[in-house]
Amino acid sequence: MGAATPQDNHTARLSDRLDTSVPHPARRYNYWLGGKDHFAVDRHSGDQIAAVYPAIRTLARENRAFLRRAVRHLAAEAGIRQFLDIGTGIPTADNTHEVAQAVAPESRVLYVDNDPMVLVHARALLTSSAGGVTAYLDADLRDPESILGADELRATLDLSRPVGLILAAVAHFLTDADRPHEAVARLVEALPSGSYLALSHVTTDFIPAEIVARMTAEVAAGRMRQDGVPRSRAEFARFFAGLELVEPGIVPVTRWRPEVPESERPSLAEASVYVAVARKP
């Protein structure tokens, strides 16, 4: 037998990281969205959360719809042609490059995620329209320098021109010890004036107190795994320090440039997510 090739080593590392014994946020989100890329452990975790907060699938769909509306806004109205989408998720409908390139085929997108399952599916993200570019980087939001210093970033994005930084439903996977505000601020710092930040983040602000209390009790009893950190409006607002909020500012997800009347939208309790888009002056 010959020596292991770099490809063999990479594949081995990948399978080490593809742990099917613990739930992964990307796979669980895919389950809630009705996708096919999840394991029993993810479905179990997803069902445990849904048993306490049955609206979780609605929340996931509304978050995904915000991502689409925000990217379309940036491409169509703000003229953004480069996107850095961190916390990409497993490819599904309306991936960032599809939405942006439907408006402007020359759009360039760098996707970043730290989940090996997303890496496995990255090829599906690399189907750029002719004239545009998509690339994928296996990296972690907790280490912004590993993103900013990556060859993939330099090859895909021109940091002398505005970039749309997309952080949809990812910052809540960073604990306070991970310093999420500092990580986002570092990324924004590296982008030129005229760039945008679009960010969505789970909160418990709109969830009835009895449901929040039940979730807390389930986690404390070890029956539910807490791998997300809901944040308050004030904590959410800190992500946008020094930036100019685009109308309608910081709002619950269903109220950001909605496409259907309020009577057709879920209640705030069913989609307890803060969102905002802001411009770097």
Element (H, E) at 66: helix 56-76
Stretch near ligand SAM under the rule CB under 6 A, chosen from 126-134, 149-157, 163-171, 248-256 = 163-171
CA pair distance 137, 221, nearest whole angstrom: 37
152 lines the binding site for ligand SAM (CB under 6 A): no
25 lines the binding site for ligand SAM (CB under 6 A): yes
- Least distance from C-beta 164 to ligand SAM, angstroms? 13
- Least distance from C-beta 193 to ligand SAM, angstroms? 25
CB 241 within 8 A of CB 186: no
Stretch near ligand SAM under the rule CB under 6 A, chosen from 35-43, 47-55, 62-70, 262-270 = 62-70
Q: Which is nearer to ligand SAM, 7 or 19 (CB)?
A: 19
180 lines the binding site for ligand SAM (CB under 6 A): no
Q: Which amino acid is residue 14, in one-letter code?
A: L
Among 98, 105, 119, smallest CA distance to 10 is for 119
CB 256 within 8 A of CB 248: yes
Judged by CB under 6 A, the residue of 38, 56, 58, 64 near ligand SAM is 64
Among 14, 32, 59, 38, smallest CA distance to 172 is for 59
Q: Which is nearer to ligand SAM, 131 or 253 (CB)?
A: 253
CA pair distance 108, 129, nearest whole angstrom: 10
181 lines the binding site for ligand SAM (CB under 6 A): no
173 lines the binding site for ligand SAM (CB under 6 A): yes
Count CB atoms within 10 A of the CB of residue 80.
Answer: 25
Among 165, 163, 117, 164, smallest CA distance to 141 is for 165
Among 91, 176, 117, 174, smallest CA distance to 140 is for 174
CA pair distance 109, 97, nearest whole angstrom: 6
29 lines the binding site for ligand SAM (CB under 6 A): yes
- Least distance from C-beta 88 to ligand SAM, angstroms? 6
What's the Rg (C-alpha) of the chain?
19
Stretch near ligand SAM under the rule CB under 6 A, chosen from 50-58, 84-92, 209-217, 236-244 = 84-92
Judged by CB under 6 A, the residue of 99, 169, 188, 190 near ligand SAM is 169
118 lines the binding site for ligand SAM (CB under 6 A): yes
Q: Which residues bind ligand SAM (CB under 6 A)?
A: 25-26, 29, 63-64, 67, 86-89, 113-115, 118, 140-142, 168-170, 173
